[in-house]
Amino acid sequence: MKDETIAIHGGYQSEPTTKSVAVPIYQTAAYEFDNAQHGADLFDLAVPGNIYTRLMNPTNDVLEKRLAALEGGVGALAVSSGAAAITYAVQNLAQMGDNIVSTPQLYGGTYTLFAHMLPRQGIEVRFAEDDSPQAIAKLIDSNTKAVYCESIGNPAGNIIDIEALSLVAHAQSVPLIVDNTVATPALCKPFEHGADIVVHSLTKYIGGHGTTLAGAIVDSGMFDWTADRGRFPQFNQPEASYHGVVYSEEFGAAAYIARARTVSLRNTGATLAPMNSFLIMQGLETLALRMERHCENAIAVAHYLKEHDLVDWVSYAGLNDSPFYPLAERYMKGKASSILSFGLKGGYAAGVKFYDALNLFKRLVNIGDAKSLACHPASTTHRQMSQSEQAEAGVKPEMIRLSVGIEHIDDILADLAQALDASQA
Ligand SMILES: *Cc1c(COP(=O)(O)O)cnc(C)c1O
């Protein structure tokens, strides 16, 4: 099936008891065992079935299958937020004494996790000086367990050369994790370009309506965890916390995602509520349609701002003079999602006046809603960072980030026009 069809039908056939056409919300904590032997078999993973919703739920299972199919992976794990997905994706690979190597420009929450929290747990995060494969390669050593990047950076809008990063990671037997939140599988499929693991904040474009927090990890099944057994003992040695299972033997290509569920999710419990799973799937059904309109509106806004006298600079990879346009063409058919940033002439002060004058655009910290949204990263998402950390993360003091929605373009441009006028008042 093609993506538009998978997004609507993937992973679900009308449930046999009720023939419900919509995916049912299985609002249950636990599942009954037929008898003691059935319970034992379930715990031994000898038969398929459900035990307890912290680790598996039939509603979440449909979402997981749908996402795995859309990204072209062997399995997925849905969790309660994008932040939980990223935490688990890394913790499934790296332990105390290990390191990961990351591109410098990241979502603010991810940056804080990497720069401040993981190091306190003994996982060092090495930020490369830029996005180039050379800058990444020189930081990888025998304790490196992953290379990390965002296919389209939030908020900087930079686009990563996924294939080049995958080659330098693979040259040293290290997997590449790509946060594909901003691009979504409608625009970019990181596994087709060498990525091994994809993480998502489903809260954004996939849910698409700003109602529901959710996240997911998707496993390509392509990384060979047995090639460098010393680097990844957790997939090659008996797991003490799960009756001695050896993940690479028991789960083969799906070893990574099986361990993420049975170790990270089972023991720390950032479970996705089935109701939220349902809401995310409602959004996912129209992902392809919405992304088309998001991109169409964003390029129109980018052209409008670029030609406006009061605007100093516009950064949007969909503009064909953007330094990222060649990568947008290569990885996303020239479509760069709907996040764009710009700076007004008059710097910070004009930026604040503009921001305060917006009517249709909501002032908030979120992206990927059907509604148009605006954010001032320096005072919000990236506020906890020092000025130099902000600069490294691609955040300028005057920068306004827009997440262009799917309203009529005339209304979007009218709101920007009146706010631009007000910035000079
Ligand atoms: C929002 C976001 C996250 C975090 O996701 P939550 O669902 O808010 O926890 C991670 N990565 C990117 C690129 C995001 O935009």
Residue spans per domain, the chain:
3-282, 288-422
- Residue with CA closest to ligand 1 atom 6: 82
Q: Which residues pair with 239 in a beta bridge?
A: 245
- Residue with CA closest to ligand 1 atom 4: 82
Q: How far is the CA of 83 from the centre of ligand 1 (A)?
A: 6
Q: Residue 237: which pLDDT band, with cuts at 50, 70 and 90?
A: very high
Comparing C-alpha atoms, which of 85, 7, 4 is closest to residue 281? Answer: 7
Comparing C-alpha atoms, which of 162, 201, 160, 165 is closest to residue 184? Answer: 201
Mean pLDDT lowest for which of 168-182, 330-344, 359-373, 389-403? 389-403
* Domain 3-282, CATH: 3.40.640.10
Comparing C-alpha atoms, which of 424, 353, 341, 352 is closest to residue 390? Answer: 341
288-422 is classed in which CATH architecture? Alpha-Beta Complex (3.90)
Quick one: which atom of ligand 1 is closest to the CA of 106?
13
Q: How far is the CA of 14 from the centre of ligand 1 (A)?
A: 32
Q: How far is the CA of 217 from the centre of ligand 1 (A)?
A: 12
pLDDT at 385 over 90: no
User: Pocket of ligand 1, candidates 107, 150, 197: which has the most ligand atoms within 8 Å of its Cβ, to mutate?
Assistant: 107
| Ligand 1 binding pocket includes 154 (Cβ within 6 Å) | yes
Quick one: which atom of ligand 1 is closest to the CA of 83?
9
List the structure tokens of 14: 């009308």
The mean pLDDT value for 2-15 works out to: 95
What would the pLDDT profile of 198-210 be if each residue is shown by its tens digit?
Answer: 999 999 999 999 9
Asked if omega into 155 is within 30° of 0 (cis), the reply is yes
Taking the model in full, what pTM does it have? 0.97
Quick one: which atom of ligand 1 is closest to the CA of 368?
15
Quick one: which atom of ligand 1 is closest to the CA of 182?
13
CA distance 289 to 230: 45
CA distance 75 to 253: 9
Q: Residue 10: which pLDDT band, with cuts at 50, 70 and 90?
A: very high
| Ligand 1 binding pocket includes 264 (Cβ within 6 Å) | no
CA distance 335 to 288: 12
DSSP H helices, 20-144, are: 36-43, 58-71, 82-91, 108-112, 133-137
Write down the number of H helices and E strands in the chain. 18, 12
DSSP 315: E
